[in-house]
Amino acid sequence: MKSYQYQHRVQYYETDQMGIVHHSNYIKWFESARNEYLRKQGISCQELEELGVLLPVIDVNCSYRQRTYYDDLVLIKVFIKELRRVTITFAYEIKKGEELLVAGSTKQSFVNKDFKPFSLQREKPQIWKMISNE
């Protein structure tokens, strides 16, 4: 699977007094999309944590091109931009129909329950392959 499209209906509680979606919510939608992507790859974020693999976010970039409104039905396209031994970077494109609303990326590191980074490729090669889609 090269990419995954996560559908989201904009909720009332995600709007602000400008009448648009508050910008912090897109960061949450990124999370929803990438976690669903992982599940489709065969391993959920919950299973990863049970196997001792946490994925804290270490970097977020988000560029807002068009506003999103309550009740909009948007698609969040997610794909792996870079998979390294100790980090993974996802990229995102949020669209309404053909229109690109938001583009962004997140970088996460593979850490154990004590938040020590480790090489997922070396220590859990099967999971690494599953995620990398090799």
Task: Note the residues at the interface with a second copy (CB under 8 A).
Answer: 11-13, 15-20, 22-25, 27-28, 31-32, 35, 44-46, 49, 54, 56-65, 67, 70-71, 115
Shortest Å, Cβ 61 to a second copy? 5
How far is the C-alpha of 36 from the C-alpha of 90, rounded, in Å? Answer: 12
Nearer to a second copy, 36 or 80 (CB): 36
Shortest Å, Cβ 57 to a second copy? 4
Nearer to a second copy, 105 or 121 (CB): 105
Q: Which of 16, 71, 72, 114 is catalytic?
A: 16
Q: Is residue 110 within 8 Å of 118, Cβ to Cβ?
A: yes
Nearer to a second copy, 104 or 127 (CB): 104
The whole-angstrom distance between residue 114's C-alpha and the CA centroid of its chain comes to: 23
List Cα–Cα distances, 46 to 38, 50, 70, 92, in angstroms: 10, 6, 30, 21
* Element at 63 (helix H, strand E): strand 57-64
Residue type, 104: G
Shortest Å, Cβ 134 to a second copy? 25
72 is an active site residue: no
Give the residue numbers marked as catalytic.
16
